[in-house]
Amino acid sequence: LIVANMSNTVLQHEALRTPTAEAVANDTSILRLVDECGKLHSLLKENPVAITSAEEGLVALIPPKKKIDQEWISKAEELISESVRNLKADLEPQQIQLLAAEDCVKNRATNIRVAMAKHHRIIADIRTLLKTMVKYEDAGLSGLEKYLARYKKFTDTISNMTKGLGMAKTLTANIIASALEETKTLHSVTDDIYGELLKFSVGDSPIKRPQLIRQSIAVCESPKKEPKTKKSRLGVQERNAYAMSVWRRVKFKLEGRDPDPGVRSTEKQQVDWAISEATNLENLSLLYEGWTPWV
């Protein structure tokens, strides 16, 4: 319909205009333009070409005055090269800072791994002792097994995070975001992990040594067997708890961690401490029977 209307308009215009020299020249120009449009249409039909957004942006950046020729292409290439050089110059300081930050993060991760290795060596004996104590139901330390599971998860998280940061070729945004999230989680539970460990120390243990009872006769008769009651079971648990406390104390002595469980003493230091305690006047005065109330 559009083509038909345009054709009617052209025919009416041709019927009304006069055949002057100027009109003939215009007719020739129009016919030449129509011929070029036909050739262009044929070329596009045979070789379909689509203009990309980058090409459109390039034309918008450097609008051609007449037509796109070799001169325009050379000028566009020069302008693009200059823009790329300027961008590289602007990004170079940021790239240097980024590489320095990556090296710093990797070095910190390595330092943490070294510190964790020392930590594992120091706490190895304590961890072994705690695992042994888990086997005893009447140790008097509730929640020990759950604590060991939490502690293992805590240390594994640190090891995996530092290993991932140290071995990564490039620290991507996802790796950094994941490490930050894990660091926040570790920071929130660190005090609880080591604070709870102190609850299982000898000094803070709820297990107490029962009071000694003075016997009125030299020979003690064997107690008669009584039926097991709730009270007798509690007594057994108390005795087992006391035995566990003694067992821990003996183990600490054998490992050189008595009287301070947090410090491992040498054989010489242990002997010196034992002699010092044995010759201490305050300890010796406790042996004087005259202090007892029945004398």
Each residue's pLDDT tens digit, 67-79: 777 888 888 888 8
pLDDT of 77-104, one tens digit each?
888 888 889 999 988 998 899 889 888 9
Residue 162 exposed, middle or buried by CB count within 10 Å (0-12, 13-18, 19+): buried
pTM of the predicted model, to two decimals? 0.44
Mean pLDDT of 99-111: 89
pLDDT digits (tens, 9 = 90+) for 117-161: 888 888 877 777 777 776 665 455 567 778 888 888 888 999 888
Whether the pLDDT of residue 230 is over 70: the answer is no
- pLDDT computed for residue 295 by the predictor: 53
Q: Is pLDDT above 80 for 179?
A: yes
Lowest mean pLDDT among 22-26, 48-52, 192-196, 221-225: 221-225
* pLDDT greater at residue 213 or residue 56: 56
